[in-house]
Every structure is written in structure tokens, then in C-alpha cells.
């Protein structure tokens, strides 16, 4: 009986802010709450609302200028980049309508992804085997080994594909939540979500892969022998990282534009209507958008943690290889290293910058709109709702966080660059400490020579500390004979 009388735990407010559940988009038009924007635009055009309406002030039954509901606006805007990722087996998500995206192991999309990944794995394994043989046969200076290892590191993005399979369910849930948010946005504002990013997404899906392939070809021409059989997997993997960055860019752009539009419509609505119910409805809509912002980072946390570490590693190696060879002048290999460094720095910057911009638009800009609201002409209930709205923006984090590992913003970019500079200084000091002459000064010290000298020094130190003193005298005498010993 104790469990029967136990009080039920209240759910967070944004979890209960669900729109009408219907598979037919036209059914959303019935019973829709058309709020301030539809009425505000009618008032601006000279419309006079009836004075005998006894309903609450935030609700209007007047049809807006655009009464047609457009479903799946978010998915339509990211579709070009999303389809490119599906072609390279990254996002095997099946979607049969608004709010019906899912990841299924028995789907044809996942079967295609598995076949593509297996073939790509064998191809990458063949290329990696050749690169390992090249690394083993190295006899040049230390920076040559770093450049050789750079081509092995470029193969690591193949691990992103199974990581994204693991997170595909969360990404499908994110798509469905966006469909629900669009319905709720229409119910409250009276308009469909006006995102106009499909053309930009189309240009990115066409131009970025071409630039990626061109950069890979230039890198292989300048830094190694151009072998088309080995260039193909590098083009696929480089396109994988570039298009994941573009996918992240478009999603953050959608969040930024939605937050800006929501803030503008809320401010415009307050010019005409100021009831408590309308403020509460927009607060629920903002909470849903804040949840979408957090879920964007949580749905792809492992993917972009791996991406950040990979970009940090590849940028550090490429800049070190570039700086270590500048003492001999700018050569043809430096062209490939420069392209690698600039390409990956730009990718890391846009990932961090766009996430930072989205977080600022969702929280900071909305707080500015709320702080500029004039409360004198509102009743006490509306003023209370405004204060609750402000508290909601303070207590609900709107930052894009990768599963608790770190926040994706400009601070992350600055921290990675600072750490990168520290490692570059250590590597350059290590290179300077390596002697450049050996014997007569005509030959450079190679990696193998450095390791053998280190091994010889370790053996000498070991013999002087472990071997008995009588044996030390016998062994060391022939070595020091030419130096002229002072002892008898």
C-alpha cells in the first residue's frame, strides 16, 4: 500500500510539451493553436480583432497568411549532406515519413553499409600494409619518419563508420524530435519553420567533395609517388571527415536560425499581446529547442570526440613536419603539408565556431530579448511568466556538449591550439637536440643511428653499475687506451 500512496515524480516541463501525434501532415491543421504571429501580422495589415471574444488573449482562431503546414523542414534542409553520408555507408537510417526515422539492423540501408564498410576495410588494409613497409625501410632524418607516419594517421577515420552505427539510434531520435518541434512551432506561431538552408546544403554536398579529392591528389603528388590505387581510399576517408564537418555545420546552422526566428517572433508577439499563457507557451517552445541543442551533442558524442582527437593529432604532425623542413627552404613537400594543416585547421574551426554560435543564439540572444521586455503594462501573471522564462534560460544549459567530455565552442578550439603549440615546441626542441653531424660532419644522423647510440650509452651505463669492478677494469682498458689514462 505504501507504493500506492507514493506521490508520482513530476516530469520536466519540456518532456510534456508534445504536439499532436499524427502520421498525416494535414491532420496537424485541425485544432492548431495559432498564436501571436498570425494575429500580429493581421494587426499590422489593418485587421481589427473582435472585442467580444472571451477566450484567453494568447489564442487566436484567425487563419494566418500561410496556413499550409510544411512537414520535415529540418530534414529537407540537411538532406543533401545526409544522402552523401549514406552513400559512403555512414548513416544507415531509414525514414518513411515525419517522425518515423529509425535505425534497423535488418534494413537494406544497413546491409549496404556493412558491405561497403567491409570492402573499404580490405582496401584500406592493403594500403596500410604498404605504408608500414615504407615506415620500416626508413633511413632518413627524424622529420622524414614523421611525414611517413602522417599517411598512416590519415587512415584512422575508417573507425568513425562503426562509431556512427553505434550512435545511429540517437541520431534517428534527434530527427524525430525535430519533426515534433516543427509541429509545436506551427501550433504556437501559426507558421511553418522557415529554414532556407537547402540550397546551401546542396552547394556544400557538391563543392566540398570535389575540393577534398583535389587536396588529396595534390598531397600525394607533392609528398609521395602518385599511385591511383592507393589514392582512392584516402579520397573516401577524407570526404568522410569533411562531410561530417559539413553535416555538423548545417545542423548547428539550423539551430542558430531557429533560435533567431523564435526570438524575433516572440518579441513581435509581445508588441500586441501580453498574456501569461502566451509567454508560457513560448517558454515551452524554447525549452524544446534547448533540449534539441543538447541532444545534438549527445547524439554524436563519441563521433566528434574521435574527430577532435584525430584533427588535433593530424594538425600537430603536419605543422611539425612543415616547421622542421623550413630551415632548408620551402620545398615541394611543404605544399602538401601546408594543405593538410590548413584543411584540418579550417575543419576544426568551423566545427567549434558553429557550435559556439548556435549556443549563443539559443541562450544569450534570447535572454537579451527577455531583458528588453517592458513589464509595466503587463499584469502580474505575465510578469511572473517572464521571470520564470528568464530563470529557465539560466537553469537549462543550452551548450552543445559531447556526452560530458567537453563543450564544443571556441574555447575548445583555443584549448586544442594551445596544447598543440606546447607539443610543437617540445618536438622542435627534441629535433634541435639531435646532433646534425657524425664523424667528419658530412653525413646526417638517421633515426637508426640515434637509436643505436642511445642503446650503446645504456649498455655502458649498465656495465658500470652492475658488473664487478675487476671486470670493469679489464673491459674498459682497451676502450680508454687511446685517451691516455693518468693512472698507473
Q: Which DSSP string corresponds to 279-312? A: HHHHHHHHHHHHHHHHHHHHHTHHHHHHHHHHHH
- What value does the mean pLDDT take over residues 311-337? 81
Residue 116 lies in a domain: yes
Instruction: Identify the residue whose cell numbers are 551533442.
Output: 297
CA distance 321 to 335: 11
- What value does the mean pLDDT take over residues 394-409? 84
Residue 204 lies in a domain: yes
Q: Which three cell numbers stand for residue 198?
A: 537547402
User: Which pLDDT tens digit goes with each residue over 441-484?
Assistant: 444 444 445 445 544 554 554 444 444 444 444 434 444 444 44
Residue 168 lies in a domain: yes
Q: Which of 20-24, 189-193, 357-361 shows the highest mean pLDDT? A: 357-361
Same domain, 469 and 387: no
Residue 290 lies in a domain: yes
Which residue range is the domain that position 358 belongs to?
A: 73-433
Residue 8 lies in a domain: no
pLDDT at 65: 39
User: Which pLDDT tens digit goes with each residue over 417-443?
Assistant: 999 888 888 877 776 666 554 444 444
Same domain, 418 and 452: no
Same domain, 127 and 211: yes
User: Which pLDDT tens digit goes with each residue over 245-272?
Assistant: 999 999 999 999 999 988 888 877 776 5
Residue 33 lies in a domain: no
Same domain, 165 and 308: yes
pLDDT at 453: 56
pLDDT at 279: 77
How many domains is the chain partitioned into structurally?
Answer: 2
Same domain, 128 and 233: yes
pLDDT at 256: 92
Q: Output 331 or 86, whichever has higher pLDDT.
A: 86
Percent of the chain with pLDDT over 70: 69
Look at residue 97 and tell me whether its pLDDT is greater than 70. Answer: yes
Band (pLDDT 50/70/90 cuts) for residue 83 is: very high
Same domain, 134 and 263: yes
CA distance 243 to 81: 7
pLDDT at 334: 79
Same domain, 247 and 391: yes
- What value does the mean pLDDT take over residues 141-170? 85
Same domain, 162 and 288: yes
CA distance 181 to 345: 34
Amino acid at each position: 500500500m505504501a507504493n500506492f500512496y507514493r506521490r508520482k515524480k513530476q516530469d520536466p516541463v519540456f518532456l510534456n510539451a508534445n504536439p499532436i501525434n499524427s502520421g498525416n501532415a494535414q491532420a496537424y491543421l485541425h485544432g492548431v493553436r495559432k498564436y501571436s504571429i498570425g494575429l500580429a501580422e493581421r494587426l499590422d495589415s489593418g485587421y481589427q480583432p473582435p472585442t467580444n471574444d472571451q477566450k484567453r488573449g494568447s489564442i487566436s482562431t484567425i487563419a494566418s497568411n500561410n496556413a499550409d503546414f510544411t512537414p520535415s523542414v529540418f530534414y529537407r534542409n540537411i538532406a543533401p549532406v545526409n544522402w552523401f553520408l549514406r552513400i559512403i555507408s555512414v548513416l544507415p537510417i531509414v525514414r518513411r515519413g515525419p517522425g518515423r526515422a529509425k535505425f534497423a539492423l535488418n534494413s537494406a540501408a544497413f546491409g549496404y553499409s556493412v558491405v561497403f564498410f567491409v570492402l573499404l576495410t580490405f582496401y584500406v588494409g592493403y594500403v596500410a600494409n604498404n605504408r608500414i613497409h615504407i615506415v620500416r625501410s626508413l633511413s632518413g632524418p627524424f622529420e622524414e619518419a614523421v611525414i611517413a607516419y602522417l599517411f598512416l594517421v590519415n587512415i584512422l577515420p575508417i573507425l568513425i563508420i562503426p562509431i556512427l552505427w553505434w550512435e545511429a539510434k540517437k541520431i534517428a531520435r534527434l530527427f524525430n524530435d525535430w519533426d515534433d518541434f516543427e509541429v509545436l512551432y506551427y501550433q504556437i506561431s501559426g507558421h511553418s519553420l522557415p529554414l532556407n538552408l537547402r540550397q546551401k546544403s546542396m552547394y556544400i554536398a557538391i563543392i566540398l567533395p570535389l575540393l577534398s579529392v583535389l587536396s588529396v591528389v595534390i598531397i600525394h603528388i607533392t609528398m609521395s609517388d602518385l599511385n591511383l590505387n592507393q589514392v582512392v581510399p584516402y579520397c573516401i576517408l577524407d570526404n568522410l571527415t569533411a562531410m561530417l564537418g559539413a553535416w555538423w555545420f548545417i545542423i548547428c546552422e539550423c539551430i542558430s536560425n531557429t533560435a533567431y526566428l523564435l526570438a524575433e517572433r516572440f518579441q513581435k508577439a509581445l508588441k500586441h499581446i501580453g498574456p501569461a499563457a502566451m509567454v508560457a507557451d513560448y517558454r515551452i517552445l524554447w525549452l524544446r529547442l534547448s533540449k534539441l541543442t543538447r541532444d545534438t551533442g549527445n547524439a554524436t558524442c563519441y563521433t566528434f570526440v574521435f574527430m577532435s582527437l584525430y584533427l588535433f593529432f593530424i594538425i600537430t604532425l603536419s605543422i611539425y613536419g612543415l616547421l622542421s623542413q623550413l630551415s632548408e627552404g620551402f620545398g615541394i613537400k611543404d605544399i602538401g603539408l601546408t594543405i593538410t594543416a590548413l584543411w584540418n585547421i579550417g575543419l576544426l574551426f568551423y566545427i567549434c565556431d558553429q557550435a559556439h554560435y548556435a549556443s549563443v543564439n539559443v541562450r544569450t540572444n534570447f535572454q537579451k530579448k527577455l531583458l528588453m521586455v517592458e513589464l509595466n503594462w503587463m499584469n502580474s501573471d505575465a510578469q511572473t511568466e517572464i521571470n520564470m522564462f528568464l530563470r529557465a534560460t539560466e537553469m537549462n544549459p543550452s551548450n552543445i556538449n559531447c556526452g560530458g567530455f567537453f563543450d564544443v565552442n571556441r574555447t575548445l578550439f583555443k584549448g586544442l591550439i594551445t596544447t598543440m603549440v606546447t607539443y610543437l615546441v617540445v618536438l622542435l626542441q627534441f629535433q634541435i637536440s639531435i646532433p646534425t653531424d657524425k664523424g667528419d660532419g658530412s653525413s646526417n644522423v638517421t633515426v637508426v643511428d640515434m637509436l643505436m647510440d642511445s642503446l650503446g650509452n645504456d649498455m655502458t651505463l649498465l656495465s658500470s653499475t652492475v658488473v664487478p669492478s675487476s671486470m670493469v677494469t679489464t673491459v674498459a682498458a682497451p676502450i680508454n687506451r687511446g685517451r691516455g689514462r693518468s693512472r698507473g
